[in-house]
Each structure stands twice: as C-alpha cells, then as structure tokens.
Structure 1
Amino acid sequence: MFGDSQAFSGFSVDDLDAARRFYGETLGLHVEETGQGDMRMLTLGLGSGARVLVYPKESHTPASFTVLNFPVDDIDRAVGALERAGVALERYSGFDQDDKGVLRGGGGEGPAAIAWFTDPAGNVLSVIQES
C-alpha cells in the first residue's frame, strides 16, 4: 500500500533554535525551517532524499530510545569529531563501552560498533559502524 511512499519520521524538541544550531552547525546536516510563530518546524535532510521532521513541543519529554542513527565508515573518527564539537558520548550501564563510549563487536547481526549521544533536547542519537 505505501511501498512507493516518501515517508518520513519526526520527533519533538523543547527548543527549536537550539535544535537548529545543533543539527545544522554541530552535526553539519542540511536544516530547513518552515512555518512561523508556534507553527515553526525543522526538516533535516539526511541524504538520498531522506528527511526527518523536528517540531517544538512545550511538554517535550526526550525519547527513551534512539531516534536517529548515523551510519559511519570509521566510528573512531566520527566519535572524535563529535568530541571536538563539544558533544558528549552517553554511557549506559549494562553495556561494555570502551573509554571513548563505543560499544564494539556487537556480534550476531548487530553493528560492529555503536556510540550514543544526545541532542540539546535529550533525544538519543547514535553513530553506527556496520563492519
């Protein structure tokens, strides 16, 4: 039914201006702002035409799961770039993350390495190296 749809995902933030700076300036994504007043929102361009809608929500609660994953070829380089940009990596109990905050060798069909970080609204994001 929706096989040819150009579906997109979305999530909320508590400060749209902070989100625009983080996603555009810190992460280097193409960010487009639309609307005005209380109807402002952001569209993040993720390559290959993929997009994610980011909208303000006064009663925002950060997602308790990863809302956006960024595949990378070299996780150490990506983590280093995040750290240089002032982004702190998250560490979760029960995961054997290394000194950089990277969980390596997920085994099975999981990623070879993954590291998590949050946006200014507390939403969880990740960088993932598949192999």
Structure 2
Amino acid sequence: MFKDTKAFSGFSVDDIPAAKAFYSQTLGLDVGEANGMLRLNIAGGNPVLVYPKENHVPAEYTVLNFPVTDIEATARELIARGVTFERYSDQHDELGIVRGGDEGPLIAWFKDPAGNVVSIIQD
C-alpha cells in the first residue's frame, strides 16, 4: 500500500522560532516554514517535519542522526557555534564523542532548544 509513498518523519518542539534559528543558523540546514511548522530539507530528498506542540515533552531518543566523515572536526565546529554535547557515560572523550571501540560507531549527542536529542555519527 505505501511502497511508493515518500514518507517523512517529524517531531515536536515548544518554540518554532528557536527551532528555526537552531536548525538553520547553528546547524546550517535549509529550513522552510509554512502553516506554523518547519521543514528541515536534508540531503536525500525527504524533509523532516518540525511542528509546535503546546505540551511538548522532549523525545527520550535520538530524533535526528547526522552522518559525518570527520566527527572530531564537526564536533569542534558545533562547539564553536555554541552546542554542548551530552555525556551519558564515561566513554566520552573531551569533545563529547563516544569511543566504544569495536562496540559501535563514533557518535556524539546534543540537544536542540526543545530538548530533543540529535547526534553526529561518523560514517
């Protein structure tokens, strides 16, 4: 039934202007706005919908993962832009990157202004 449908994902925020500034200015994404919602135009063609929710509760999982080729350079650039990385364990290095060895990829998490979790992950 949905085999040929171009599905897209979405998540809520509590402040559309703050989300727009973060995703467009801090992260450098192409962000559109219509009907009180945002469309994050990401590579690959399917946008991500960001919608306002009065009783927003931040997601307890990662809502967006951004694959990067050089996680250290990306982390440094994000820190320079005011991003603070989350630390969930003692496996984080000084930049906030988890270096779990063979257990998984290099990854670092941060939050958007609404508290939703976003990551950079080295591909």
Q: Same fold (TM over 0.5)?
A: yes
TM-score band by shorter chain is over 0.9
* Selected match of 1:96 from 91, 98, 109: 91
* Aligned mates of 1:107, 1:120 — CA distance in 2: 32
Describe how 1:45-124 pairs up with structure 2 within 5 A: 45-93=41-89, 95-108=90-103, 110-111=104-105, 113-124=106-117
Residue in structure 2 matched with residue 25 of structure 1 by the alignment: 25
Percent identical: 59
Superposed CA RMSD in Å reads: 1.2
3-state SS of the aligned residue for 2:25? helix
Change (3 A) 1:106 1:51: farther
Q: Unpaired runs of 5+ in structure 1?
A: none
User: What is the deviation of 1:2?
Assistant: 2.3
- Secondary structure of 2:48's counterpart equals strand
Letter paired with 1:96: Q
Query: Shift of the alpha carbon at 1:5?
Result: 1.7
Cα distance in 1 between the residues matched to 2:62 and 2:101: 16
Gaps of 5+ in 2: none
* Deviation digits for residues 11-36 of structure 1 (CA, Å, limit 9, x no counterpart): 0000000000000111000100001x
**Amino acid corresponding to residue 104 of structure 1 in structure 2:** R
